[in-house]
Structure formats: structure tokens, C-alpha cells
Amino acid sequence: MNIYLLISALLFLVSVYGILSSRNMVRMLISVEVMFNAVVLAVLSIGNIMAASGYQNAIPTMVSIVVFAITLAVSEIVLMFSIMIGILRFRVVRNIDTEELITRER
């Protein structure tokens, strides 16, 4: 068994514990990112095992999967930060309507 698969499984389990035990949104976001990176590490280690066993297209396939995973992680971070900004705005203004904010500033 590859040591990287073991490390990715350990990271995945730690991040699951972090999600289930935390109520802080930032800690949950960090745990989700660690979980996502554990999955990427597992995909890369499986690709390495496949390349060592003689599968010719393993490296380009794994690289394309990892590039897709990185773009997905970036979009996930943007989505989570926009949700956090919306929650903070709601706590301050008690309304998420942006037109009211624009008319109140004038």
C-alpha cells in the first residue's frame, strides 16, 4: 500500500472530525479544504500506482483531474467567502437587500 494513500486517509478523517465537531464557519471551511486536498492527494497517488504498473495515459489523466480539482477548490473558496460576507452583512444591517443600502447612502 502506498504511504500517500495512508496519509490522505488520515487527513480525510481529521477533516471529517473538524467538520463534525466545529460550529465555527472558518474552521469548517478549513476542514473542507483539507478534505479536498486529501482527495487530490489520493487521486495523485492512485495515478502514480497506475503509472508504475504500466498504464500509459495515467499521468496526463491525473494532471487534468488535479487541475480541475484546483479550479473547483478556488470556486468553493469564493462561494464560502461570499456566504460569510452575506452573513456578516445581515448581522449588521438585518437586511440583505442591496438597493436599500444604495438609497440609504445618498
Looking up residue 28, the CATH number of its domain turns out to be 1.10.287.3510
Domain tally, the chain: 1
pLDDT digits (tens, 9 = 90+) for 2-60: 899 999 999 999 999 999 998 887 888 889 889 988 988 888 888 888 888 888 787 78
User: Contact 58/47 with Cβ under 8 angstroms?
Assistant: yes
Banded pLDDT at 103 (limits 50, 70, 90): low
Q: Say which residue, 62 or 42, is predicted with more confidence.
A: 42
pTM given for the model: 0.69
Contacts of 2 (CB under 8 A, 6+ apart): 45, 48, 49
Buried b (16+ CB within 10 A) or exposed e, 14-36: ebeebeeeeeeeeebbebbebbb
Q: Which residue range(s) make up the domain with 63?
A: 3-105
